[in-house]
Each structure stands twice: as structure tokens, then as C-alpha cells.
Structure 1
Amino acid sequence: MTDSTATMPATVAPATLKEWAARHDDLMVVDVRSGAEFDSLHIRGSYHVPLPLLSEHAEEFASRMGTRVVLVCQSGARAEQARKRLAAVGLAGASVLEGGVPAFAAAGGDVVRGAQTWALERQVRMTAGSLVLASILGGRFISPKLRLVAGGIGAGLTFSAATNSCAMGAMLSKMPWNRSASEPTAHQALQQLGDSR
């Protein structure tokens, strides 16, 4: 059943997405997480377009997307960034899945599970926490100036929360353990979306 005049809400609950998947053949679920996150758990039938790739080629991706688009990530933050980027190039009707892929899986949604890896948000917390702890200990036993690293990390986390962005997360997403052999190129992702229409 296709309704090209559908008005999409800003966010979608997991239960609603489950219902839409059963009722709408024009539904397009776009996962903007890293390759490793996508490989470990993703919604069956979703399209993998990592956020950096989508941001770089937003106009091209927006032109290939339909009228019923739901953007997903781990918690909703990266999907919201993708929604804003797509809205800036004219695709105003995309929605963000509340709670991300884990919430959809917890609600009994149809997901594909692979090898388990740490979510990017968890990696950011571990990295930031380790740097703060190391700088405090280094400040105590090596040089008091090392405590400035903890202050820098705190300032970065504050900026990240205020702007809903994460430089550390962007950096960690490029690490080898967060990339997979199935990481799509722009051409592959665009072709996949084009084939769905």
C-alpha cells in the first residue's frame, strides 16, 4: 500500500515502525551507523548509509529517497544529524527512530544479528573516561600539567552535548575496528537506494 501524500512525524516509536513495515511497501529505513555497528545488529531490509557518507553526498541521497523515510542509528543522535542534513537539501519528511536499533530489537522488531561489537557511544565513554583517569593519575605522579588533559576532555564533552555532535565519535568511527569489509562506497549506497524505488 503506497501513500505518496503521507506526512511523516519527526520521530517514530519502534512499535509504529514495526506496523509501518507490515503495511507500507514504500517504507525506506536508512541506517547511518558505522559498518561494524551495522554488521552487529541492523533492521532487516534497512539500507546502510554511514553518516559521513550521507553528509558528504546529501543531495544525491535525498534525490533517491522516497516519501516515507525513517533514519536509524544507535540512540537517535546521529539519525537526527542525518535528518537535519537531508532537510537542508530539501528532504523535509524524514523521521528518526526513537531509541535507535536496540529499541526496535527490544520491541520485537525484525533484526539481523551478527558479531557483537561495542556501540560507538560506548567507545566514546570508554575513551573519554580512560583519558580523564590517565590525566588525573599522571597529574598526581608525573606532572600537574597533565591535569589539563582532563579539563580539555571535559570541555569537549560539554561542547559535544551543547551542539549534539561528537568529534571523538567521528574520529573513533574511522578506526579499523569500526569499519567492515561491507562498508559501502557512495556509488554502492546510491545504487542500492536507486534499485529500491
Structure 2
Amino acid sequence: MSTAPVLAPAALHLLVQEGRAPRLLDVRTPGEFRTAHIPGSYNVPLNTLREHRAELRAHLDEEVVLVCRSGQRAKEAERALAGAGLPNLRVLDGGITGWESAGAPVERGPERWDMERQVRLVAGSVVLVTGLVGIAVPGAHLIGTAIGAGLTYAALSNSCALGVMLSKLPYNRGPRTDVRTVIAELRSTR
């Protein structure tokens, strides 16, 4: 369970406006980050953060706010960094979605579908097609049933195997995040 306190988007926006912004680490995929992100944030995808947390820890000695789409991946990042001994961690309440809902500024890039929408499209399409094919091919509907079971498990476990698979597609990856580049940026800004 995450032990990091959450930070409300309005409170973070105020800190940014006052010039007291903490380090903002956005743990979404590079593709998601390019679509919209908080100005001044650093993109460190969750897998990269987990793999290089000890290296990152050496460059994150002040307050850090973790950002993702809704807060879930940021909580996972918090657990990874807290496990590496990094203090002063907070999670942006509601993630980038909450930030935008609060009317705070975002830097925008090329528009793309977020991961949740992609999962809904793929899962819904598989269920629809297998349901229709099941009219002529006995048992085909069971594929849709398996997808439904997977979605149920995803909701109960708060994880999503389909989302993980979709995040590996070139469309979602965007440019690869190099931890050396992130560390160089962290060094140069403070």
C-alpha cells in the first residue's frame, strides 16, 4: 500500500506559480507524456524508474511529486522509490487528469488515445467480433468470456495485462526515455 501523501492539483499549481515547484516525475509512457504533461516535469516511465531507482535517488534529494494519468502508477513509483530510501515523496491526486480538471496548464503534443481508451477499444472489439462469430462457430464466444474475465481480474487487482501489452506497441512508446538523459536534466535544473 502507498504511504505517500497525496498533493491536490490546486496546491501543486500554487507551488508552481510561486516558484516553489517540487521535482515532478511523470511515470507514464513517453507517448502519453508527449500528448500532455505538466510544464517542467520529467518523463521517467514506471519501468525505467523501477530499474534505475538507485541511480535516480542520488539526484532526487528534495521534494518529489509523482504524476501519472490517474494516480495508480504514481503510487507504484512511490513504493519503488520509497523502497530505495527516497524521502519526501508525494503523489499528485488524480494525476494529469486531475491537474487538467483543475484548469492548470499543460504542454501538449500530438494527440493520441490514452491507454484506458485503447484497452476499451481492443477488449470491446474482441468481445463484439467473437460474439458475432459465435453465431456461426460454436464456442467462439468463449474468447469474449475470457476477455471479460481478464477485465474483471484487472479491476480487482488494479492491474491490466492488456494495458501492459498495448504499452509496448510503437504507437504508445514514443521516443525511448534514456535514464542518462533524465539524470543530466535533473542535474542541470537545480
Q: Is the shorter-chain TM-score for this pair beyond 0.5, marking a shared fold?
A: yes
Root-mean-square deviation over aligned CA pairs: 2.0
Question: Which of 46, 49, 56 matches 1:54?
Answer: 49
Q: Indicate the residue corresponding to 1:186 in structure 2.
A: 179
Q: 2:165 matched to 1:171?
A: yes
Structure 2 matches for 1:85-104, cutoff 5 A?
85-104=80-99
Percent identity for Structure 1 against Structure 2: 42
Structure 2 matches for 1:1-197, cutoff 5 A?
10-23=5-18, 25=20, 27-144=22-139, 146-181=140-175, 183-197=176-190
Q: Deviations over 1:38-61 (max 9, x none)?
A: 111110000011111112222222
Cα deviation for residue 151 of structure 1 reads 2.5
| Secondary structure of 1:75 counterpart | coil
In the alignment, the residues of structure 1 paired with residue 160 and residue 132 of structure 2 have an alpha-carbon distance, to the nearest angstrom, of 25
In the alignment, the residues of structure 2 paired with residue 69 and residue 196 of structure 1 have an alpha-carbon distance, to the nearest angstrom, of 14
Q: 1:44 to 1:185 in 2, by over 3 A?
A: same
Number of positions where the alignment pairs a residue of Structure 1 with one of Structure 2: 188
Residue segments in structure 2 that go unaligned for 5+ positions in a row: none
Q: For structure 1, which segment, 160-169 or 27-36, has the greater mean C-alpha deviation from structure 2 after superposition?
A: 160-169
Alignment TM-score, normalising by the size of structure 1: 0.85
Residue segments in structure 1 that go unaligned for 5+ positions in a row: 1-7
Contact 1:18 1:109 in 2 (8 A): yes
Alignment TM-score, normalising by the size of structure 2: 0.88
Q: 1:32 to 1:147 in 2, by over 3 A?
A: same
Aligned residue type for 1:44 = P
Contact 1:75 1:100 in 2 (8 A): yes
Q: Indicate the residue corresponding to 1:4 in structure 2.
A: none
Q: Deviations over 1:65-104 (max 9, x none)?
A: 1331111111111111111221222224311112221321
